[in-house]
Amino acid sequence: MTDTATTTTSLNKFEKFKAEKDGLAVKGEIEKFAALGWEAMDETDRDHRLKWVGVFFRPVTPGKFMMRMRLPNGILTSSQMRALAGVVQRYGDDGNADITTRQNIQLRGIRIEDLPDIFNRFHAVGLTSVQSGMDNIRNITGDPVAGLDADELYDTREVVQQIQDMLTNKGEGNPEFTNLPRKFNIAIAGGRDNSVHAEINDLAFVPAFKEGTGEQSSQSPIFGFNVLVGGFFSAKRCEAAIPLNAWVSPEDVVAVCRAVLEVYRDHGLRANRQKSRLMWLIDEWGLEKFRQEVENRLGTSLLPAAPKDEIDWEKRDHIGVYKQKQPGLNYVGLHIPVGRLYAEDMFEIARLAEVYGSGEIRFTVEQNIIIPNIPDSRLATFLTEPLLERFSIDPGLLTRSLVSCTGSQFCNFALIETKNRALGIIKALEADLILTANVRIHWTGCPNSCGQPQVADIGLMGTKTRKNGKAVEGVDIYMGGKVGKDAHLGTCVIKGIPCEDLQPFLQNLLIEHFGAKPKQEALVTHWSIDHN
Ligand code: SRM
Ligand code: SF4
């Protein structure tokens, strides 16, 4: 395989349809599609190119599309939340929304005939869903408590917005970056606890101080970021990002993103989609050549990395009430079970953010919500709001850290149902066990790993297995994922546990490895990690 895209004859079907017509071209055809209806549309436009404007055909619910937004740094306003709620509301029982593992939101039940109106509504409140799927750059994550946290090293909000503006032409769509070899993930960490899972992104920036040199040598250390590259999960291979040996000042982050993306766009491997993520190019070239090409695009040398980064805290989950750096103000993290919201919840969250806070709402990569800027004087009343009975500030120790991907309810890749099953099993485990610390359990419906089982204490990856000679839904179990300081990926420790046996299996795992105690001795079973 050579550096560049392969010849037309050997193009795979995705490269072929991208070469025939750029994905973003569908932006000008939305009225036409709305008039045609989903059944009469060209299939490639419907099933693939619409993802360039964030609209996903769902084979599981044909005619009811999903829309994936872009929310830089996971931040939105109450009017934006109301606009999203209004869209979901019109679909009755089909309408709902999910907060995603990239601090983002997806809406469900969308009808193609409503798209022109939906896009107008988004435009009116400054929302965009452009370039959020297929071979584009995903939602850019930033510190969820940026600008609120007294201990933060850098407020990531502005730079995340600048990167999105550059890559998407301020949300209108940017053809420069609509034909990447594959998806691409970017994260910027601003605090000491790596709230964004920097290590699982194709490109990540982590806080690091550099000693001044030359005339600056007498000055105090200068703030900037060490750059990580090549982190990704896929069904075939999962890798943590590796250091590029580069330190960049905050003003240079946007230019470095552009340079890395240009190198990936122009040289990333395109023949085999299983090998198209950035790390495969770094493997083929070696890190030195990749770094050199980034420098060529930048038109200047990169400084070597600072000797150490500043990620030295355990990861926080931001659930509960916390003082902000602004005196007299608080941010409150609400737990949203598996990230699922309905229209009435979304309207209510918007109302609470306006009445008690400044109207701002934030999402975390754990699929939860933060409402910032609540004055001390209003906090007590806020905490009595009925919505907090469902979206708790103090959930059970397993519920608190539960994360789940979409699963078979809406995703055709799924090998198992995830969200409802995850909630049911966690509830039963919490009823049977006394826990002393939270245990991070992540569910993902297939090896694509959208639910990030490799970062969890216990990761559950959907699979098909056999029980009593019959094919049944099961999970492969991952353990050892570490987040925050010294983050590293967990690995698969046991394969093919049938979902119907999972609750006793997890119960034993929690007792043996996480200090849980059964409420009744009789509940202890003899499943263990050695079982196979
Ligand atoms: Fe994902 C494909 C859902 C985060 C790795 N992912 C999909 C699709 C679009 C498949 C499809 O068309 O049905 C899923 C849509 C299902 C649906 O209807 O909701 C889907 N991915 C999600 C979300 C919603 C999971 C969630 O419940 O939160 C997350 C949306 C994030 C966002 O707002 O953009 C989501 N996906 C991730 C992550 C986690 C992350 O970014 O931290 C990963 C692993 C990290 C990575 O990509 O390196 C991830 N998704 C994948 C992959 C494997 C990529 C690969 O290189 O092979 C696929 C399959 C693909 O792209 O072909 C995939
Ligand atoms: Fe769908 Fe698999 Fe991603 Fe879950 S992990 S959302 S099942 S592609």
Task: Name the residue at shortest CA distance from atom 39 of ligand 1.
Answer: 450
3-state secondary structure 329-366: EEEEEECCHHHEECHHHHHHHHHHHHHHCCCEEEECCC
pLDDT at 520: 81
**Strand, coil or helix: 68:** strand
pLDDT at 483: 94
pLDDT at 13: 95
pLDDT at 11: 85
Q: Which domain holds residue 177?
A: 157-189+196-298
Looking at the fold, whether 220 and 337 belong to one and the same domain comes out as no
Q: Which ligand is nearest to the CA of 274?
A: 1
Distance from C-alpha of 406 to C-alpha of 413, rounded to nearest angstrom:
10
Answer yes or no: is 531 within a domain. no
Q: Which residue has the higher pLDDT, 226 or 520?
A: 226
Distance from C-alpha of 71 to C-alpha of 125, rounded to nearest angstrom:
13
Answer yes or no: is 143 within a domain. no
Q: Which ligand is nearest to the CA of 463?
A: 2
Among residues 132, 2, 114, the alpha carbon closest in space to that of 64 is found at: 114
Angle 287-298/253-267 helices, nearest 10 degrees? 120
Residues 429 and 503: beta-carbon distance below 8 Å: yes
Residue 180 has pLDDT above 60, yes or no: yes
CATH code of 41's domain:
3.90.480.20
Q: What is the mean pLDDT of residues 112-127?
A: 98
Residue 148 has pLDDT above 60, yes or no: yes
Residue 214 has pLDDT above 80, yes or no: no
466 tagged catalytic: no
Q: Output the CA 102–ligand 1 centroid distance in Å.
A: 9
**C-alpha dihedral sign at 389, 390, 392, 398:** positive
What tens digit of pLDDT does each residue of 26-37 get? 999 999 999 999
Residue 532 has pLDDT above 70, yes or no: no
DSSP string, 484-497: STT-B--EEEEEEE
445 tagged catalytic: yes
Ligand 2 binding pocket includes 475 (Cβ within 6 Å): no
Q: Output the CA 99–ligand 2 centroid distance in Å.
A: 14
Answer yes or no: is 179 within a domain. yes
Q: What is the mean pLDDT of residues 138-155?
A: 98
Looking at the fold, whether 182 and 237 belong to one and the same domain comes out as yes
pLDDT at 521: 67
Distance from C-alpha of 445 to C-alpha of 42, rounded to nearest angstrom:
29
Q: Output the CA 448–ligand 1 centroid distance in Å.
A: 7
- Which of the listed residues 266, 298, 330 is the one where a domain comes to its end? 298
> How would you classify the pairing of strands 441-444 and 458-467?
parallel
Answer yes or no: is 270 within a domain. yes
Residue 528 has pLDDT above 60, yes or no: no
Ligand 1 binding pocket includes 232 (Cβ within 6 Å): yes
pLDDT at 1: 36
DSSP state of 429: H
Phi and psi for 193 in degrees, rounded to 5? -115, 10
68 tagged catalytic: yes
What share of the chain has pLDDT > 70, as a percent?
95
Q: Output the CA 356–ligand 1 centroid distance in Å.
A: 34
Looking at the fold, whether 375 and 444 belong to one and the same domain comes out as no
Residue from 99, 340, 406 to probe ligand 2 pocket by mutation (most atoms less than 8 Å from CB):
406
CATH code of 328's domain:
3.30.70.3340
Q: Which ligand is nearest to the CA of 417?
A: 2
Distance from C-alpha of 198 to C-alpha of 7, rounded to nearest angstrom:
35
Answer yes or no: is 532 within a domain. no
Looking at the fold, whether 417 and 507 belong to one and the same domain comes out as yes
**Token pair 């499943």 is at which residue?**
527
Looking at the fold, whether 276 and 167 belong to one and the same domain comes out as yes
Answer yes or no: is 32 within a domain. yes
What tens digit of pLDDT does each residue of 421-435 get? 999 999 999 999 999
Question: Among 17-26, 137-146, 213-222, 282-291, which stretch is predicted with the lowest mean pLDDT?
Answer: 213-222
**What is the distance of C-alpha 381 from the center of its chain?**
32
Angle at the Cα of 104 (from 100 to 109), degrees rounded to 5?
75
pLDDT at 6: 45
Q: Output the CA 528–ligand 2 centroid distance in Å.
A: 27
Residues 435 and 397: beta-carbon distance below 8 Å: yes
Q: Output the CA 102–ligand 2 centroid distance in Å.
A: 14
Total domains in the chain come to: 4
- Which of the listed residues 298, 332, 367 is the one where a domain comes to its end? 298
pLDDT at 219: 75
CATH code of 479's domain:
3.30.413.10
Task: Name the residue at shortest CA distance from atom 3 of ligand 1.
Answer: 450
Tokens describing residue 222? 């200068």
pLDDT at 530: 47
- Which of the listed residues 124, 141, 174 is the one where a domain comes to its end? 124
Q: Which ligand is nearest to the CA of 446?
A: 2
What share of the chain has pLDDT > 90, as a percent?
94
Answer yes or no: is 141 within a domain. no
pLDDT at 4: 43
27 tagged catalytic: no
446 tagged catalytic: no
Residues 143 and 73: beta-carbon distance below 8 Å: yes
Averaged pLDDT score across all residues of the chain: 95
Looking at the fold, whether 388 and 412 belong to one and the same domain comes out as no
Task: Name the residue at shortest CA distance from atom 4 of ligand 2.
Answer: 445
Looking at the fold, whether 179 and 248 belong to one and the same domain comes out as yes
Ligand 2 binding pocket includes 411 (Cβ within 6 Å): yes
Residue 152 has pLDDT above 50, yes or no: yes
Residue 124 has pLDDT above 80, yes or no: yes
What tens digit of pLDDT does each residue of 267-301 get? 999 999 999 999 999 999 999 999 999 999 999 99
pLDDT at 271: 95
Task: Name the residue at shortest CA distance from atom 16 of ligand 1.
Answer: 411
Residue from 448, 454, 478 to probe ligand 1 pocket by mutation (most atoms less than 8 Å from CB):
448
Looking at the fold, whether 220 and 290 belong to one and the same domain comes out as yes
Answer yes or no: is 3 within a domain. no
Q: What is the mean pLDDT of residues 393-420?
A: 98
Looking at the fold, whether 325 and 223 belong to one and the same domain comes out as no
Distance from C-alpha of 440 to C-alpha of 458, rounded to nearest angstrom:
6
Distance from C-alpha of 190 to C-alpha of 254, rounded to nearest angstrom:
15
Looking at the fold, whether 406 and 379 belong to one and the same domain comes out as no
Looking at the fold, whether 221 and 266 belong to one and the same domain comes out as yes
Distance from C-alpha of 367 to C-alpha of 370, rounded to nearest angstrom:
10
Task: Tell me which long-range contacts 351-356 makes (C-beta under 8 A, separation of at least 24).
Answer: 351/78, 352/382, 352/385, 352/387, 353/78, 353/81, 354/78, 356/381, 356/382
Residue from 415, 443, 448, 452 to probe ligand 2 pocket by mutation (most atoms less than 8 Å from CB):
448
Looking at the fold, whether 372 and 428 belong to one and the same domain comes out as no
Composition of the chain by helix, strand, coil, percent to 5? 40, 20, 40
Distance from C-alpha of 294 to C-alpha of 302, rounded to nearest angstrom:
9
Ligand 1 binding pocket includes 234 (Cβ within 6 Å): yes
Q: Output the CA 532–ligand 2 centroid distance in Å.
A: 25
pLDDT at 531: 41
pLDDT at 215: 67
Report the run of H or E that residue 464 belongs to, with start and end.
strand 458-467
Residue 527 has pLDDT above 70, yes or no: no
Q: What is the mean pLDDT of residues 240-266?
A: 98
